[in-house]
Amino acid sequence: MITRFTKIVIQKVKVPKEDLNAELMWLSKSLGLMSERDKEYSCFRMFIEIIKASKRGEGLSSDELAYRLNLTRGTVIHHLTKLIGAGLVRVEDNKYSLRAKNLEQTLKKMKQDVLSTYEELENLGKEIDKKLDL
């Protein structure tokens, strides 16, 4: 199971008014899941499918995602790599699901990842300062 993020992007985007789809789109944009190249919102649509599957307590294979969203397996793998790298999705037994039981818990885990990484950076900075006599 992959649980450690490789890259988290956070962007400040205007929060929408009480519309579930708009809120999910905002969350995706804020986390850098939307790109100019992704004209069909493939990554966003995959994220939604994974959320729905997680709600049912199941994971989805890359083939299932490709079939449900009418995407090539290559496109699915590309976006899954992005979602896993962001810390949103995990893979277990070749099935993809939210990293935690819901979005709130998933985002809390991502927050812990960021805080842990900053702590590592601070510790390294302290060691470098010692070596440079700062």
In this prediction, residues 121-125 reach a mean pLDDT of 94
Give domain status of residue 30, yes or no: yes
Give domain status of residue 89, yes or no: yes
- The 10 Å Cβ neighbour count of residue 27 is 18
Give domain status of residue 2, yes or no: no
The answer to whether residues 44 and 25 touch, using CB atoms and an 8 Å cutoff, is yes
Give domain status of residue 103, yes or no: yes
- Expressed in angstroms, the distance from the first to the final Cα of the chain is 41
Give domain status of residue 6, yes or no: no
Q: Please, is 8 exposed, middle or buried when counting C-beta atoms within 10 Å of its C-beta (0-12, 13-18, 19+)?
A: middle
Candidates 54, 35, 68; CA nearest to 100 is: 54
Give domain status of residue 95, yes or no: yes
pLDDT at 2: 46
Give residues with Cβ within 8 angstroms of 91, minimum separation 6.
1, 2, 59, 80, 84
CATH number of the structural domain spanning residue 95 = 1.10.10.10
Give domain status of residue 74, yes or no: yes
Domain count, the chain: 1
Give domain status of residue 10, yes or no: no
pLDDT at 29: 84
DSSP 60: B
If you count them, how many residues does the chain have? 134
- Which has more pLDDT, 51 or 26? 51
Q: What is the pLDDT of residues 88-105, one digit of tens each?
A: 999 999 999 999 999 999
Domain ranges, residue 125 = 20-132
Q: What is the pLDDT of residues 35-84, one digit of tens each?
A: 778 788 899 999 999 999 999 999 999 999 999 999 999 999 999 999 99
